[in-house]
Amino acid sequence: MPRVPAPSPEHRFSFGLWTVGNPGRDPFGGPTRPVRSPADIVRLLGGTGAWGVNFHDNDLVPIDATAAEEKRILADFRRALRETGLVVPMATTNLAFDPAFRDGAFTNPDSRIRAYALQKSMRAIDLGVSVGAKIYVFWGGREGSDTDAGKDLLGALKRYRDALNFLCGYVRDRKYDLKFALEAKPNEPRADIYLPTTGAMLAFIQTLDHPEMVGLNPEVAHEQMAGLNVTHALAQAWDAGKLFHVDLNDQAPGRYDQDFRFGAHNLKSAFFIVKFLEEVGYEGPRHFDAHAYRTSDEGDVKAFARGCMRTYLILKEKAEAFRKDREIQGLLAEIGAEFRSMRPFQGGYAPAKAKALRRHAFDRAALGRRGFPYERLDQLVVELLAGVR
């Protein structure tokens, strides 16, 4: 069993103020842990090997803070960053919590609320950039519907597009070194959230004025809530050059939004996620958008944060073991074997190629007899993960 390295800044692990700082509130009960100040949360992360801390504007500065309060909070926060060496890779706007956003922010039918959402986002972008954020996430949790009875769906998409175009313009105008990452989620808190999957977001990005500034922040739980395969979503985002950020956590399909510790529910799926990110050479933040169980005390919250990172690193070792395993590689070679006789038909279209392919005689029955050793391969993966290989 190879030694698992301790988490360190080079691994680019990040957490949100709202995740490790979550006092254990849920829809059925109040907090079970004390509320910590942002600087305190940074210090809590400081000793764990984490690299970054992310925030929503109001995780750092309460929505009703005075200018003097804001100044003091920011000074404390900056001091904690200096003390711990943590950086702020990503920031975002809270456009979900305040009652003003009950029917969405950028897509709200009320033009005053849409304008307020833009103002709040511009200020939050300034705040994020002022502490070094290079990625700005948009998760439109309230952009959606509980009933479509009163919804102008095409109008909502247009407003969404207008808002992102406006904010891209703002970032360009200010010459900020900042990219946007859109985060899809199918439902919760709305019955149906607009642009519910990574693929839907990807198509939407192409309709924006500055698609090159805008990428994706796929989240494990959000894909799994919908019964989808998150590694497939990551692959599509990567293939499009749009994997700007990733929210790692875990989730059983068909449940409420669980936000479990990375790898807590589906270790095999977590393995394929890590294997994919490491194999393609993803260099962005590995952000854990996960929450400790409500039953945790503060010590257990630390164990939760360490657990997210440690599981990632264990699975990274396992991905390396997969790559070096001769039996596994032998099966992969068998599965992907090239047939020399098919070479003339590969690559793009050419009229002569098409002509030859039309004439070629295939032995369909023989093709139908070909098996693929996925049972053997999958069992080897299971044994690798179970530590008996």
Distance CA 146, CA 201 (A): 20
| Rounded CA separation 285/114 (Å) | 30
Q: Does 137 bind ligand GCO (CB under 6 A)?
A: yes
Contact 21, 31 (CB under 8 A): no
14 binds ligand GCO, rule: CB under 6 A: no
CA distances in angstroms from 202 to 98, 123, 162, 233, 339, listed in the order given: 28, 26, 16, 10, 35
Between 215 and 331, CB nearer to ligand GCO: 215
Convert residues 87-106 into a mask of x (bound to Mn ion by CB under 5 A) and - (unbound).
--------------------
At residue 306, the 3 state secondary structure works out as: helix
When binding is defined by CB under 6 A, the residue of 159, 185, 261, 318 that contacts ligand GCO is 185
DSSP states of 22-45 as a string?
----BTTB--SSPPPPHHHHHHHH
Can you tell me the distance from the alpha carbon of 129 to that of 90, in angstroms, rounded to the nearest whole number? 9
Residue nearest to ligand GCO (CB): 139
Helix-strand-coil percent breakdown of the chain, rounded to 5? 50, 10, 40
Among 139, 204, 304, 312, binds ligand GCO (CB under 6 A): 139
Q: Is 59 in the site for ligand GCO (CB under 6 A)?
A: no
Q: Which does 92 bind (CB under 5 to 8 A by kind): Mn ion, ligand GCO, none?
A: ligand GCO
Q: Which of 11, 26, 56, 297 is catalytic?
A: 56
Identify the DSSP state of 149.
Answer: G
Q: Does 183 bind ligand GCO (CB under 6 A)?
A: yes
Q: Which range of residues in 38-46, 136-144, 234-242, 341-349 is near ligand GCO by CB under 6 A?
A: 136-144
Structure-block tokens of residue 224: 């799994």
Least Å distance, CB 18 to ligand GCO, is 7
Count residues near ligand GCO (CB under 6 A): 11
Question: How many chain residues interact with Mn ion (CB under 5 A)?
Answer: 3
The answer to whether residue 247 forms part of the interface with Mn ion (CB under 5 A) is yes
Query: Does 250 contact ligand GCO by CB under 6 A?
Result: no
The tokens of 70 are what?
């804001």
Smallest gap from Cβ 303 to ligand GCO, in A, equals: 21
Query: Considering only residues 308-367, where is the footprint of ligand GCO by CB under 6 A?
Result: none
Q: Determine the Cα–Cα distance for residues 316 and 290; give it in Å rounded to an integer.
A: 19
Q: Annotated catalytic, 210?
A: no
Specify whether the CB–CB gap between 293 and 21 falls below 8 A. Answer: no
232 a catalytic residue: no
- Which residue among 257, 278, 298, 325 contacts ligand GCO (CB under 6 A)? 257
Using the minimum distance from each CB to ligand GCO, give the nearer residue, 84 or 92: 92
Q: Which does 258 bind (CB under 5 to 8 A by kind): ligand GCO, Mn ion, none?
A: none
Q: CA 385, CA 389: separation in Å to the nearest integer? A: 8
* 203 closest CA partner among 386, 211, 347: 211
- Interface residues with ligand GCO (CB under 6 A)? 56, 92, 137, 139, 141, 183, 185, 219, 247, 257, 289
- Interface residues with Mn ion (CB under 5 A)? 219, 247, 289
User: Which sequence positions are flagged as catalytic?
Assistant: 56, 59
